[in-house]
Amino acid sequence: MMVAGPFDASTRIGFIGLGAMGHGMAHCLLRKGLHVQVMARRAEVARAFIEAGATAAPDPADLGRNCALVLLSLPDAGAVEEVLFGAAGLASTLAAGSVVIDTSTIAASAARDFGQRLQQRGVWLLDAPVSGGKPGADAGTLACMVGGPAPVVDACRDVLGAFCKTITHVGELGAGQVVKACNQVAVACALLGVGEAIALALAEGVDPNVMRDVLLGGAARSFSLEKHAPRVIDGSFKPGFRAQLMRKDLRIALGAARAAGAVLPATALAEQVLDATCEAGRADWDWSAAALEVQRRSGLAIPATPEPS
């Protein structure tokens, strides 16, 4: 089965899922001068993209008729399945050789299932979750880990490059989601360590900013210590990346681990801490607010809910 690409500035590109991440990614495509068609449930969201140069479709099926390449940025596997295979879904109208690039974070097993179902219709699927958060989506500096056949990945590189600084083909379909799960495991466990360091400093009466400065000069230096610790110390939790989404991602990782026979004890603890964070009314706070749960368990004062606007 052939792919319709390579996809370039002459291709009409569809985009579905214009939330915190998709909003920035779609605008990056427009800034690159690409022909973008969006589908949004809310008229005001579609209108803003039309004003920026996009066209709009009323439903996924209509968008699929017009586009050879469609990008998705959706909250979970259920939403992806509905857009692909639900009433007026993309799969009903996409031409053979078309490609769907799913940048959502879902289970690898779901990505493989969706890909097999699309293949029966002559359509390719790439699982291409991204890392870098909303700032990276807005700036076009995301890191993308892509699973799928190499020729299909290569046909899509120019388009992905509109919002990604790095694009790494990590294996066959589903491998992108596996690597993204590994990313979330690593960063969540790192944040838990940083949160515990801050809680210990506070409990012992040491200025956490001084503690952080010292740790940045040694082996404890990390992205979480650089970027997340100031949020925790200052009590600034406007998202960013929401706690409920990181909880979802860790649950995906834990489910994959169980299926594969792997044991992730630190990840299980991080998920419990994030779950408590969400249940305490902080589900829409930046996920680094999980460090507050560590402080709460240490008997330290924490900000009252609600916080971010």
* Residues that are catalytic: 180
- Among 43, 59, 60, which Cα is nearest to 51's? 43
- Residue that the structure tokens 């120019």 belong to: 158
Strand partners, 70: 14, 100
Task: Spell out the residues 6+ positions from residue 171 whose beta carbon is closer than 8 angstroms to its own.
Answer: 147, 178
Instruction: Return the DSSP state at 280.
Output: I
Q: Is the dihedral of CA 86, 90, 96, 100 positive or negative?
A: negative
The CA distance from 251 to 268, in Å, is 9
Task: Give the H/E segment covering residue 28.
Answer: helix 20-31
Q: Is 230 helix (H, G, I), strand (E, B) or coil?
A: helix
- Give the residue carrying structure tokens 């879904």: 89
**Residue 164 structure tokens:** 């990604």
